[in-house]
Structure 1
Amino acid sequence: MKLSIKYQRLQDRLGYEFKTPALLQLALTHRSHGAHNNERLEFLGDSILNLVIGEALFKRFVDVREGQLSRLRSQLVKGETLAEIAREFELGECLILGEGEMKSGGHRRDSILADSVEALIGAIYTETDFDTCRTHVLSWYAARLSSLTVDTTAKDPKSRLQEHLQGLRKPLPEYEVVEAAGESHAQIFTIECRVVLLKQPVRAQASNRREAEKIAATEILRLLDIQ
C-alpha cells in the first residue's frame, strides 16, 4: 500500500515512518467515517501518553509532590495541548472523516485533533515497542517539557475540587452530559456535576464538554467556599 504525498509529508513531520501504512490511516480515521476507526488506538495512546509524560515529570522534578506533578501532567496531556500539537503537525488535512464532520469543519475541532494524536501514539506503540514510542512522544513534547516549571500552571478548578474531595476521603466528582443541543459544528453542552458534599447537582453550559465541566467545578468550589 503506497501512501499519498500528504501522508508521506505527515510522517516526515512526525519523525516516524509507519511500517504498516494502513495503521497510520486507521489512526487518522474518525468514528464518523465508519465502524473501522481510531477509537481503540486512541484508548491505548491515552494510557501510554499519561505514563510517558508522568515518568518524564517524575524524573525532572525530583522534589515536587504528587499533587503538583499531577497538575503539570494534566496541563500537558489535556485536549487543548494535544490539539496544539496536532496543528503543529498539520494533522487536520490528513484526517479521514465522515461526510457530516467534513462539512461541519471536523478537521479543525480540538477534540477530534486531540483524539487523533493519541491514536497515533497507540499506533506507533502497536507496531514497535514502548521505548520507541516513548522516544517519539518525548520528541513531540521536547519544547514544552524544557520550558516547564513547577509554576507553569495554577490549579484548574476540576483539579482543585478533586484534590479537596480526596483530602476528605470522599468520592470523586461525577460529571454527566445531560444535553447536547444545536448543530454539530455549534453545539452547546449541558453537564451536571455531582459531589457528596452537596445535595443537588450543579449544572453548567459551554460550547464543549471540558469547558462546561470547569464551569461546574468552579461553581461547586464557590458553594463550598473553597479558595
Structure 2
Amino acid sequence: MLLAGESLARLQEHIGVHFRSPALLEEALTHSSYTFENPEAKNNQRLEFLGDAVLEVLVSEVLFHRLPEAPEGELTKFRAAVVCESSLARTAAHLGLGLAMRMGRGEELSGGRWRPSVLADAFEALLGALYLDQGLDAARTFVSRHLGPVIEDVIAGRHEPDYKTELQEKLQKMSREPVKYVILKEEGPDHAKTFTAGVIYHGALIGQGVGRSKKEAEQQAAKAALARRVWRKR
C-alpha cells in the first residue's frame, strides 16, 4: 500500500524534489519495523546503504573544492562532522521525514519518529532513492540545498563535536595502535533499545557510553575517554 498520494505530493513539494517513481520514495520512508507487521513491504535499509555511499562522495567533492589547501586529515574530519548522525537527523527533521515515515506501532509509540538514528537513516535512504530515480546531478543539487549550510557551519567551527575523530587524532599522535569500538550491552525491546559501547585501546577499556543507537553510544564512549585524558598517562 502506498502512502497517501496527497501526503507524498506535499512532502515532495516541501523537500523540492518530485520523484518519477513514487514507489522509491515510499520505500525510502519505510522503517524496518513496518515490514515486521507488513511483510510484503520493502523497508529502507538497502536505500540507506546506497545513500550513505552517495552522501560521502558528494560531501567529499564539496569539501575538496571548497578547501583547496586543506590536508586529507582535515577534510576527513570535516566530512565526518557533516555526515554524523546528529547532523543528518536535524536535517531530516527539518524536511519532515519523521512525520512522513511508515513504521510499526511499537516503534512509533516509543518515539521512533523523532529518534536521531531513524531520522539520519531516512535522510540517507531518501538520497539513495533520489540517486536511483534521477541520477547523481539531482542528488548533488539536493545535498547542496539541504546540507550546504551544515557544511559551511562545519568549516566555520559551528558544529557539534565529533568525539570519535577527536579521540582518534589524539591517540594516533602516540602510536599507530588502532582504536576499536565494541558494543558491550544491548537492553530493551527492538523498538526501544539502548546500547552501551566501549572504546578499546592497547587492549584496555578506556571509555564507556550509552545511547539510543550504536553510533550515539560510540560517540559517548569516545567523549568519556577524552574526559579521562588517557593520552597523558602513557
Task: Normalising by structure 1, report the TM-score.
Answer: 0.86
Counterpart CA distance in 2 for 1:2 and 1:207 is 31
Counterpart contact for 1:190–1:206, Cα < 8 Å = yes
Structure 1, unmatched stretches of 5+, are none
Structure 2, unmatched stretches of 5+, are none
Q: How many residues align?
A: 224
Counterpart contact for 1:105–1:185, Cα < 8 Å = no
Find 1:217's aligned residue among 194, 219, 222.
222
Find 1:174's aligned residue among 174, 180, 192.
180
> How far is 1:137 from its partner?
1.5
- Once the two structures are superposed, residues 168-189 of structure 1 have per-residue CA deviations (whole angstroms, 9 ceiling, x without a partner) of 6635322121212245676442
1:27-176 mapped onto 2 (5 Å cutoff): 27-34=28-35, 36-153=42-159, 156-166=162-172, 170-176=176-182
The 3 A distance-change label for structure 1 pair 101 and 11 is same
Counterpart contact for 1:193–1:201, Cα < 8 Å = yes
Higher deviation after alignment, 6-15 or 163-172: 163-172
> How far is 1:202 from its partner?
3.7
Counterpart CA distance in 2 for 1:83 and 1:127 is 23
Do residues 205 (structure 1) and 209 (structure 2) align?
Answer: yes
Counterpart contact for 1:158–1:213, Cα < 8 Å = yes
Counterpart contact for 2:33–2:103, Cα < 8 Å = yes
Higher deviation after alignment, 208-217 or 163-172: 163-172
Counterpart CA distance in 2 for 1:166 and 1:141 is 30
State the AA in 2 paired with 1:39.
Q
State the AA in 2 paired with 1:145.
I
Q: Percent identical across equivalent pairs?
A: 35
User: Which residue of the partner structure matches residue 10 of structure 1?
Assistant: 11
